[in-house]
């Protein structure tokens, strides 16, 4: 009998992956591969002992765990760790986190939670952000076993966007120069309105994070709109 239980999955997509691979393919030294591999290894080290499974294939990173209060918080933190590790190397990500029925062993991943997380990433994330499913938030925030400290921690690592989506707040003060560098170098990579929209969002998020920390010298063009959720 297979263990077909509820689980939580974070599905993360590496943005611009085709261009990244094509760029490496024209060089003897695949620097982008090195950056991605180093970034993921750094995140794996940070997640040791958190009971989170991490799988990477092509442009996709999948984190999974059981539907338990502490583990939900762990998968949120580990997803942020991956975003931070990769953006520090100039690589942007987008994703979704959801729960549902889930089966996983060393060879097989068969998961309703993965499908939900994938749909969040492809249909609602849109920008370099990881969106948290509202049903997952409702479950963990209203469960009787969730502590006040856990609720506060979820509050501190998430933001409510202008479109109402709740996403992981991954830009820390020490990463503002990294996001600024990505924005300053964006002109050569913008080839469509779709890509331009992603950089406009990153510009808005970057500047929101600059202002509370008085890092005005790092700002691009301040655009308001973000706030802490559940206020």
Query: pLDDT by residue (tens digit) across 210-219?
Result: 876 545 546 5
53 burial class (0-12, 13-18, 19+ CB within 10 angstroms)? middle
- Domain of 112 in residue numbering reads as 5-170
In the prediction, which pLDDT does 214 show? 47
User: pLDDT per residue over 160-212, tens digit each?
Assistant: 999 999 999 999 999 999 999 999 888 766 778 888 899 999 999 998 888 76
- pLDDT lower than 70: segments of the chain: 1, 188-189, 212-231
CA-to-CA distance for 193 and 142, rounded, in angstroms? 40
Q: What is the model's pLDDT at position 212?
A: 63
Residues 167, 229: contact at Cβ < 8 Å?
no
The verdict on residue 26 lying in a domain is yes
Residue at 222 is within a domain: no
CATH code of the domain in which 23 resides: 3.30.70.1230
Residue 164 belongs to some domain of the structure: yes
Residue 222: CB atoms within 10 Å? 13
Number of domains in the chain: 1
Query: Is 224 among the domain residues?
Result: no
């Amino acid at each position: 009998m297979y263990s077909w239980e509820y689980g939580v999955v974070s599905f993360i997509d590496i943005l611009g992956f085709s261009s990244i691979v094509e760029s490496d393919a024209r060089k003897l030294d695949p620097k982008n591969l090195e950056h991605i591999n180093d970034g993921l290894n750094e995140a794996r080290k940070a997640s040791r002992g958190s009971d989170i499974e991490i799988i990477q294939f092509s442009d996709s990173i999948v984190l999974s765990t059981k539907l338990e209060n502490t583990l939900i918080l762990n998968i949120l933190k580990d997803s942020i760790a991956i975003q931070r590790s990769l953006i520090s190397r100039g690589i942007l990500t987008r994703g979704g986190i959801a729960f549902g029925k889930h089966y996983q062993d060393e060879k097989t991943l068969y998961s309703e939670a993965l499908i939900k997380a994938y749909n969040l990433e492809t249909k609602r994330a849109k920008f370099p952000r990881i969106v948290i499913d509202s049903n997952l938030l409702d479950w963990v925030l209203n469960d009787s076993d969730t502590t006040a400290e856990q609720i506060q921690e979820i509050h501190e690592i998430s933001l409510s966007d202008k479109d109402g989506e709740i996403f992981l707040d991954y830009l820390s003060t020490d990463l503002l120069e990294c996001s600024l560098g990505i924005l300053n170098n964006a002109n050569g990579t913008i080839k469509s309105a779709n890509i331009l929209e992603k950089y406009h969002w990153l510009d808005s998020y970057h500047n929101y994070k600059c202002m509370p920390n008085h890092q005005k010298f790092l700002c691009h063009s301040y655009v308001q709109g973000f706030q802490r959720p559940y206020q």
